[in-house]
């Protein structure tokens, strides 16, 4: 097999696929730069089936379905099924805001979804509304239960740390791992859309860790191979607590992923300005051309993104298009 190996010897086995840039939430940290006149057409499920087949032939083992909100795709069941039928793809994970999971959890499990990550930044309903601009807190909590019941486990909860907004939630969210077999992952806020929000609300993982340690004794735990988080366990807990630290300690050395957007661009890094356009190759189902373009995107994968500083100009333009 022709594996994808970049200039720095990193083997690329993981694709993050943003299947739509549309979303039913409007999270305060996920603002997106809207490019007037930009193509908004998305790949169809048949395009995606072709894409999954091709990347599977290139040694891709893990697919993350993200967005925007992936469950807004009416054909999401077919999309997941078309990924799962490929021989090499052995892990398909969905990242979702959870609001539509109650209806989708079981059907997704039935067509081969491995597990879900649900984004949940607070357990306080009014703060949830402030962060997401939507009154869907109960729907998300229902989605959490539905996913556990469907066996989409280990369930991971993603919580973006925001100083002045959800510090009070750090302990209650960490405590979910005490009561349930879930993995809670606190994510450092990344700069999106150059709007000043990041400068005002960035909080390092050490601050969250100190908050948890002020109440609980923690054991250092283990993540699965290739995981980007550092893990801890509250003594006696069912689940785990992880920290994803793209800002304070980036994990570029072991990065094994590329990102594909629903509008046909491959981004070799979340912070890349450079992308490779695969729209036509996918639409024409031209696998030779597509393989050439994917290999090209791996060749331009940078060694690392720079250290993000408060006075930097480095920011992510469109999180919904890139999928986080
Ligand atoms: N809509 C889905 C969701 O919210 O899970 C999937 C797409 S969302 C872009 C993917 C992940 O990116 C979510 O866990 C979200 O919290 C995270 N995210 C979005 N903006 C972020 C930011 N500025 N910093 C850190 N994480 C961010
Ligand atoms: Fe939508 Fe997810 Fe972005 Fe929130 S984080 S606006 S749910 S894409």
119 close to ligand 2 (CB < 6 Angstrom) = yes
Give the β-pairing of 156-161 and 4-5.
unpaired
Cα torsion 290, 295, 300, 306: sign: positive
Mutate to test the pocket of ligand 2, among 19, 67, 162, 193 (most ligand atoms within 8 A of CB): 67
- Give distance in angstroms: CA of 105 to centre of ligand 2: 19
Tokens coding 142: 């229902």
d(CA 12, CA 61): 9
- Give distance in angstroms: CA of 1 to centre of ligand 1: 33
d(CA 233, CA 217): 8
Phi/psi for 171 (5° steps) reads -70, -50
- Give distance in angstroms: CA of 324 to centre of ligand 1: 5
67 close to ligand 2 (CB < 6 Angstrom) = yes
56 close to ligand 1 (CB < 6 Angstrom) = no
**Index of the ligand 2 atom closest to the CA of residue 97:** 7
Q: Which helix (H) or strand (E) holds 234?
A: strand 229-234
Closest ligand, as measured to the CA of 70: 1
97 close to ligand 2 (CB < 6 Angstrom) = yes
98 close to ligand 1 (CB < 6 Angstrom) = no
- Give distance in angstroms: CA of 202 to centre of ligand 1: 15
Closest ligand, as measured to the CA of 316: 1
- Give distance in angstroms: CA of 217 to centre of ligand 1: 29
Provide, for the chain, the percentages of residues in helix, strand and coil under a 3-state DSSP scheme, each rounded to the nearest 5. 35, 20, 45
Total-model pTM: 0.93
**What's the confidence (pLDDT) of residue 81?**
98
192 close to ligand 1 (CB < 6 Angstrom) = yes
- Give distance in angstroms: CA of 317 to centre of ligand 1: 13
Closest ligand, as measured to the CA of 67: 1
324 close to ligand 1 (CB < 6 Angstrom) = yes
**What's the confidence (pLDDT) of residue 194?**
64
- Give distance in angstroms: CA of 101 to centre of ligand 1: 16
Please, how many CA atoms are within 13 Å of residue 17, restricted to the half-sphere of its CB? 28
d(CA 198, CA 14): 28
Contact 205, 186 (CB under 8 A): yes
Quickly list H helices, 114-160.
Answer: 125-132, 137-150
Cα torsion 132, 231, 298, 316: sign: positive
- Give distance in angstroms: CA of 216 to centre of ligand 2: 31
**Index of the ligand 2 atom closest to the CA of residue 160:** 5
What is the full per-residue pLDDT of the chain (324 aa) written as tens digits? Answer: 778 999 999 999 999 999 999 999 999 999 765 554 566 789 999 999 999 999 999 999 999 999 999 999 999 999 999 999 999 999 999 999 999 999 999 999 999 999 999 999 999 999 999 999 999 999 999 999 999 999 999 999 999 999 999 999 999 999 999 988 899 999 999 988 766 889 899 999 999 999 999 999 998 876 655 565 678 999 989 899 999 988 888 778 888 999 999 889 999 888 777 899 999 999 999 999 999 999 999 998 988 876 565 566 666 777 888 887
**What's the confidence (pLDDT) of residue 323?**
81
**What's the confidence (pLDDT) of residue 94?**
98
**What's the confidence (pLDDT) of residue 314?**
65
Domains of the chain in start order, with CATH, are 4-322 (3.20.20.70)
Identify the three-state secondary structure at position 172.
helix
Cα torsion 207, 29, 274, 66: sign: positive
**What's the confidence (pLDDT) of residue 302?**
85
């Amino acid at each position: 097999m022709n594996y994808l190996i970049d200039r720095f010897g990193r083997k690329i086995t993981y694709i993050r696929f943003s299947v739509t840039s549309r979303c039913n939430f409007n999270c305060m940290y996920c603002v997106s730069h809207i490019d007037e006149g930009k193509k908004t057409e998305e790949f169809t499920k048949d395009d995606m089936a072709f894409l999954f087949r091709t990347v599977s032939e290139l040694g891709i083992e893990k697919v993350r379905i993200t967005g925007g909100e992936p469950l807004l795709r009416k054909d999401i069941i077919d999309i997941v099924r078309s990924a799962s039928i490929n021989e090499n793809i052995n892990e398909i994970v969905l990242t979702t805001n959870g609001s539509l999971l109650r209806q989708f959890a079981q059907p997704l499990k039935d067509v081969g979804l491995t597990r879900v990550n649900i984004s949940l930044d607070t357990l306080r309903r009014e703060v949830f509304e402030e962060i997401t601009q939507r009154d869907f807190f109960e729907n998300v909590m229902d989605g959490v239960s539905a996913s556990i019941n469907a066996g989409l486990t280990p369930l991971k909860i993603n919580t973006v740390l925001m100083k002045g907004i959800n510090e009070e939630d750090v302990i209650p969210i960490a405590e979910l791992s005490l009561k349930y077999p879930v993995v809670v992952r606190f994510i450092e806020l990344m700069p999106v859309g150059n709007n000043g929000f990041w400068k005002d609300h960035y909080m390092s993982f050490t601050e969250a860790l100190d908050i948890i340690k002020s109440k609980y004794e923690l054991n250092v735990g283990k993540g699965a191979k290739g995981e980007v988080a550092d893990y801890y366990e509250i003594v006696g807990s069912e689940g785990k607590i992880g920290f994803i630290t793209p800002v304070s300690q980036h994990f570029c050395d072991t990065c094994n992923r590329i990102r594909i957007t629903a509008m046909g661009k491959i981004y070799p890094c979340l912070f890349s300005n450079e992308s490779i356009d695969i729209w036509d190759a996918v639409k024409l189902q031209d696998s030779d051309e597509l393989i050439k373009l994917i290999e090209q995107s791996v060749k331009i994968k940078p060694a690392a993104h720079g250290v993000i500083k408060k006075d930097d100009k480095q920011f992510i333009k469109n999180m919904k298009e890139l999928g986080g």
